[in-house]
Amino acid sequence: MNLLNILLMTQPEGAAGGSMASSLIFLVLIFVVFYFFFIRPQVKRQKDQKKFREGLSKGQKIVTIGGIHGKIVEMQETTCTIEVEGGVKLKLEKSAVAADSQDQLTGEQAK
């Protein structure tokens, strides 16, 4: 059997009928691999991030997506006010909060 036929999962040139079925199986297999390795983990990360942002509370130390470290001093429906070093207060969207500052510290200490 030709090595190229084996690699492409096709039948030899003289065979009839099964080529289309094997191509369809190959495409379905590719879709399943993409789903389990790319789509599903991304959806899980988005759910975890949404749950984290909904659980934000006053006094929690956070890091924004821009890398600003601060402490939450006030919470609203879609925004929060954080206090950074020097007593400066910044108002930002909850969607701009990337992580808990304590998670960042424990992650660095584990390395």
My answer on whether 66 and 103 are in the same domain is yes
My answer on whether 45 and 85 are in the same domain is no
Residue 83's CATH number:
2.30.30.140
Q: Is the pTM of this model over 0.85?
A: no
My answer on whether 22 and 66 are in the same domain is no
- At residue 20, the pLDDT reads 83
8 is a domain residue: no
My answer on whether 67 and 103 are in the same domain is yes
3 is a domain residue: no
Residue range(s) defining the domain that contains residue 28: 15-52
If 0-12 CB within 10 Å is exposed, 13-18 middle and 19+ buried, where does residue 60 land? middle
Tokens of 28: 């379905």
My answer on whether 33 and 75 are in the same domain is no
51-99 pLDDT, tens digit per residue, is 999 999 999 999 999 999 999 999 999 999 999 999 999 999 999 999 9
